[in-house]
Amino acid sequence: MGGKQLGFSDYELTTAKKQTKRGKFLSEMEVVVPWQALIDLIEPYYPKTSKKGGRPPYPLATMLRIHLLQQWYSLSDPSMEEALIEVPTMRRFAGIELIPDRIPDETTILTFRHLLEKHDLGEQIFSTVKAHLSARGMTMRQGTIVDATLIAAPSSTKNEEGKRGPEMHQTKKGNQWYFGMKVHAGVDKDSGLIHSVVVTAANVHDLTPAGELLHGDEEVVYGYAGYQGIAKRSEMAGNAAEFRVAMRPGKRRALPDTPEGRLQDLIETAKAHIRSKVEHPFRVIKQQFGFQKTRLRGLAKNRCKTNVLAALANLFLARRQLLGIA
Domains, the chain, ordered by start: 15-119 (no CATH), 140-295 (3.30.420)
State the pLDDT at residue 163. 55
Q: Give the H/E segment covering residue 150.
A: strand 143-152
Task: Sort 11 into a burial class: Cβ within 10 Å, 0-12 / 13-18 / 19+.
Answer: exposed
Whole-number Å distance between alpha carbons of 140 and 156: 40
Mean pLDDT in residue range 207-223: 91
State the pLDDT at residue 9. 47
Mean pLDDT in residue range 221-248: 88
State the pLDDT at residue 10. 46
Mean pLDDT in residue range 256-273: 88
Residue 267 amino acid letter? I
Q: Residue 170 pLDDT > 60, yes or no? A: yes
Q: What are phi and psi of 164, to 5 degrees?
A: -70, 165
- Which ranges in 166-222 belong to alpha helices (H)? none
pTM above 0.85, yes or no: yes
